[in-house]
Amino acid sequence: MVYPYKYDMGIKVGEAQIPDPSKWTYQVGDLDTSGSRDARGLLHRAYVATKINYEFEWNAIEWEMLQHIVNAVQKPKFKLTAPDPRTFNTMYKGNYYVGDRTGSCNYYLKNRDDKAVFSLKLKFIEY
């Protein structure tokens, strides 16, 4: 059985398109080189950049798709194209690395063939 993966979100790792995740979360954060408060409690900060980190989760993918996704994120640094949560219907492109790769395997028997279905969760962290 080949699952009908959807690619509506347009997520890419480098040039490799990956299927839409079952669930995705994001974190938009500001980075500072330093920050301190003065005697009146006012914050003085040295803002550097705003970064977006993603977590994508697939609940049911086959071995071939698991392999495709995991191999796409093997490099220590790669381009990620993903939906920009700040602006409707736009994509965000940045340099990323992948953090933890978490998954599980659930076996089931169908039509006398052993089939495996996998889950996968990836954390994408922007450089």
Residue 2 lies in a domain: no
- Span 106-120, mean pLDDT? 73
pLDDT tens, residue by residue, 36-55:
889 999 988 889 999 999 99
Residue 7 lies in a domain: no
Residue 77 lies in a domain: yes
Residue 22 lies in a domain: yes
Residue 1 lies in a domain: no
- Span 11-20, mean pLDDT? 96
Residue 53 lies in a domain: yes
Residue 4 lies in a domain: no
User: What is the span of the domain harbouring residue 58?
Assistant: 12-126
pLDDT tens, residue by residue, 75-112:
999 999 999 999 988 999 999 999 999 998 876 666 65
Give the pTM: 0.83
Strands (E), 3-112: 12-13, 16-17, 23-37, 43-61, 78-83, 91-110
Domains: count for the chain? 1
Residue 45 lies in a domain: yes
